[in-house]
Amino acid sequence: MCASMDRYQNRAVSIQGDLMADRSRSKNSYRSRSTARVDRKKRRQQRASLNKIKTLKLAVMMVIILLAFAGLGGRLYILARDNQNNYQKKILSQQRYDSKTLPFKRGSILDANGTILAASEKVYNVILDCKVMLSDEKSQDPTLAALAECFGLDLAELRKFVSENPNSQYRVLKRRITYDEMSPFLERKNTHNTEAGKKGNEEMGTINGVWFEEEYIRRYPNNTLACDVIGFTGTDNNGTYGLEEYYNDILNGTNGREYGYLNDDAALERKTVAAVDGSTLVSTIDANIQAICEKYIKQFNEEHLNEVREGPGAYNIAVIIQDCNNGDIKAMASYPDFDLNNPKDLTGYYTDEQIAQMEEDETYYDALNALWKNFCISDTYEPGSTAKALTLAAGIETGRIIGNESYECGGFLEIADRKINCNVTRGHGTLDVSGSLEQSCNVAFMKMGEAIGVRNMVQFEQIFNIGLKTNIDLAGEARTASLVFTENSMGPTELATASFGQGYNVTMIEMVAAFSSVINGGYYYEPHMVKKITNANGDTIKNIEPRVLKQTISSTTSEMLRQYLYASVAEGTGKSARPAGYAIGGKTGTAEMVPRDKTNYVVSFIGFAPADDPQIVIYCVVDRPNVASQPHATYATGIVKNILTEVLPYMHIARTEEMTIAEQEEVDNILGNIVQSDPAQGEDGENGENGENGEGAEAGSEGENNTGGAAGEGQSGNGPLYVIDPDTGELIDPVTGEKAQMDYGMEDEPPEEGNGTPSAGDVQQ
């Protein structure tokens, strides 16, 4: 009690002393006073008192701290309670929900052998976002420098643009660059930003604000090849003409999307839905056959370019080759053609002034459409004498023509007070059925038509689907329903002209489809261009099987027609269409155009090969050839002959006919055209060269058979230089008569090297 009183007093004194704080009071007096009082007890007491003060003060401090925390907790609570929805909205409004489209890849178009006819390639647009780039001032220099160096852009121009448009967010600096062109920039950005992210390199600045927009562009590696068939597609993935348009939905996939959305908890989630790439079309077109057709079409065009009038060799030149046993179109070519990679280029056909003029009078797109359309399916014309095959088929099928009839031709026939001339005005004399077709006698066919009658004629027109779309899987097929006869519109004159293919219109594809059924036993196949649809990985989604729509004529009638048509080529007007070594059947056509002033003609040839076992039907139409005298089917047959001379060997169809030396030379000439493109290669090179062009297969695999036949018949010099000795069965040199062992080895060597097994020869030796 006493002690505590003392301490209290002591404390009171000291506080009082402090309050009175006299500056004059020296440190010494303090010390003397305190040292005077110091003893152990006091010291312990002092410590105890300090501890009490400390405890009290700590408690006060803790209370203050706890109050502060309580206040802050309260503030947090109020913030969360009052503003949750409001601030939630603010946050959500700041978020970017922008969804980004991930483009799909449009499917490719392949030919029957897998050659790419059309394919989409991913390309990138370089986009500069100035606002993002300038969010850090230091980013500008490295970013612009990288852009200028990686994409060859002008640095000064970039700087100017950025300083003038600091808020621009979407500036396309470069369009449609490939991945390889883009990747140097990405690499540079990566290394630069890693470097800049290191400590102490803050001043370097990062490359920022540049992004790449993905896009696909359509590429056509073969440029003009099969342009009318394929059609083209712009960046909008909307096909124009041909397969691109017809199969647009199948070729197109579904765009993917990257987007942000709010989930149940109002949290932003980003989701990516991958794009589904489009399906790939495997076409029935064989790019090699197509190329052969186009080659001879162009050859014809060049031969007759500007011959009589300014312009191409004919208004239209077109060829269709169809597999007559399933309706597959193997080639469909027409001229004029255009570059699919640059479809709006008219400079090949018009001068710059003409183009400028056309742009002015808005005929520019008319000209383009005329160029783009597919003559083979879109244009109609009078078929002319090629239709005689159909007339004859109808006659035989209906029994109105038996085959033993004979017709007298005096050069014209008078029908309903009108004189209709035969193609040979002096007349053909007496002709049997086969002869009528061989000579393409109009008078005979008018008589046949008379025998067949209007009803049967119209009926067979329908049976052969003339006047109906064939439903070929190409965009732009013409409707010809109004261009053909009906029972009402067909009078005697019309019947007469229709019997030799004048007075009504057809499309080429109609004729091909009908003619195929005439010679293949009567099966009308729907012509088609695509045989398989696969997905982006190459898995088959759908096989398109041949569709037989109907039986047009009986197989016996078909058999008879094959005979007649064979004779028509072998003996008649179609002679010039026969390729050396092959037997084919077919019919020429020379149709006079309206007005019938004997100037403009559509000449054509439709045929099949080989004659005994038809594999293909070929139809060639030359619309108004650029020659002084048009009505000569030889313009068409010449093209057909050249094409078949190459295509038949390519298709592994063996030669069955004897060839004269002249013919042999002609064949060598045609096939040799290819060989001579690289004469330095010599004999071995020849084989290799042939192989590349497709005929090598014939020369290699069927060479022996051919030569076997030739040797057996005592003839020499067909293709390969060696013949088989009929006694030993070994190859001999036709000149020396010796065994061609050495040469045989030599001939065999290149393929071995090609197969990468050179050891085989060594082992044999």
Q: How far is the CB of 233 from other proteins (least distance, A)?
A: 37
95 binds other proteins (CB under 8 A): yes
100 binds other proteins (CB under 8 A): no
Segment near other proteins (CB under 8 A); pick from 53-61, 160-168, 351-359, 513-521: 53-61
66 binds other proteins (CB under 8 A): yes
Q: How far is the CB of 750 from other proteins (least distance, A)?
A: 54
44 binds other proteins (CB under 8 A): no
347 binds other proteins (CB under 8 A): no
> What is the rounded distance in angstroms from the CA atom of residue 687 to the CA atom of residue 680?
13
Q: How far is the CB of 100 from other proteins (least distance, A)?
A: 16
Q: How far is the CB of 55 from other proteins (least distance, A)?
A: 6
> What is the rounded distance in angstroms from the CA atom of residue 573 to the CA atom of residue 585?
11
166 binds other proteins (CB under 8 A): no
> What is the rounded distance in angstroms from the CA atom of residue 187 to the CA atom of residue 265?
39
> What is the rounded distance in angstroms from the CA atom of residue 272 to the CA atom of residue 460?
59
> What is the rounded distance in angstroms from the CA atom of residue 439 to the CA atom of residue 573?
6
Q: Which of 6, 8, 9, 11 binds other proteins (CB under 8 A)?
A: 11
Q: How far is the CB of 190 from other proteins (least distance, A)?
A: 7
> What is the rounded distance in angstroms from the CA atom of residue 424 to the CA atom of residue 410?
9
Query: Judged by CB under 8 A, how many residues of this single chain contact other proteins?
Result: 57
CA separation, residue 732 to residues 308, 655, 686, 736 (Å): 52, 21, 20, 8
- Residue closer to other proteins, measured from CB, 39 or 692: 39
> What is the rounded distance in angstroms from the CA atom of residue 355 to the CA atom of residue 350?
6
> Per CB under 8 A, which of residues 226..285 are in contact with other proteins?
265, 267-268
> What DSSP string runs through 353-398?
HHHHHHHHTT-HHHHHHHHHS-HHHH--B--GGGGHHHHHHHHHHH
Q: Which of 44, 47, 479, 550 binds other proteins (CB under 8 A)?
A: 47
- Residue closer to other proteins, measured from CB, 192 or 388: 192
Q: Which of 8, 29, 53, 121 binds other proteins (CB under 8 A)?
A: 53
> What is the rounded distance in angstroms from the CA atom of residue 90 to the CA atom of residue 79?
14
- Residue closer to other proteins, measured from CB, 30 or 179: 30
Q: How far is the CB of 88 from other proteins (least distance, A)?
A: 4
12 binds other proteins (CB under 8 A): no
- Residue closer to other proteins, measured from CB, 50 or 172: 50
29 binds other proteins (CB under 8 A): no
Q: How far is the CB of 212 from other proteins (least distance, A)?
A: 16
> What is the rounded distance in angstroms from the CA atom of residue 706 to the CA atom of residue 545?
34
170 binds other proteins (CB under 8 A): no
> What DSSP string runs through 230-297?
H-EE-TT--EESHHHHHTHHHH--B-EEEEEEE-TTS-EEEEEEPPBPPPEEEES--HHHHHHHHHHH
Q: β-strands 280-283, 109-110: how paired?
A: parallel
> What DSSP string runs through 326-360?
T-BEEEEEEES---TTSTT--TTTS-HHHHHHHHH
- Which residue in 573, 594, 593, 574 sits closest to 583, CA to CA? 574
- Residue closer to other proteins, measured from CB, 50 or 661: 50
- Residue closer to other proteins, measured from CB, 266 or 594: 266
Q: Please, are residues 209 and 132 in contact by the beta-carbon 8 Å criterion?
A: yes
- Residue closer to other proteins, measured from CB, 3 or 402: 3
DSSP state of 573: G
Q: How far is the CB of 261 from other proteins (least distance, A)?
A: 13
- Residue closer to other proteins, measured from CB, 38 or 760: 38
- Residue closer to other proteins, measured from CB, 14 or 223: 14
- Which residue in 229, 233, 206, 209 sits closest to 219, CA to CA? 233
Segment near other proteins (CB under 8 A); pick from 43-51, 229-237, 349-357, 376-384: 43-51
Binding mask 69-88 for other proteins (x = CB under 8 A): x-xxx-xxx-xx-xxx-xxx
- Which residue in 253, 246, 174 sits closest to 210, CA to CA? 174
DSSP-based three-state secondary structure for 713: coil
211 binds other proteins (CB under 8 A): no
Segment near other proteins (CB under 8 A); pick from 47-55, 160-168, 327-335, 467-475: 47-55
197 binds other proteins (CB under 8 A): yes
CA separation, residue 436 to residues 331, 471, 514, 553, 571 (Å): 31, 33, 21, 21, 11
Q: β-strands 540-543, 412-415: how paired?
A: unpaired
94 binds other proteins (CB under 8 A): yes
DSSP-based three-state secondary structure for 533: strand
Q: How far is the CB of 227 from other proteins (least distance, A)?
A: 47
| Residues near other proteins, by CB under 8 A | 11, 14-15, 17-18, 21, 23, 27, 30-31, 34, 46-47, 49-51, 53-55, 57-58, 60-62, 65-66, 68-69, 71-73, 75-77, 79-80, 82-84, 86-88, 90-92, 94-95, 190, 193-194, 197, 199, 202, 206, 265, 267-268
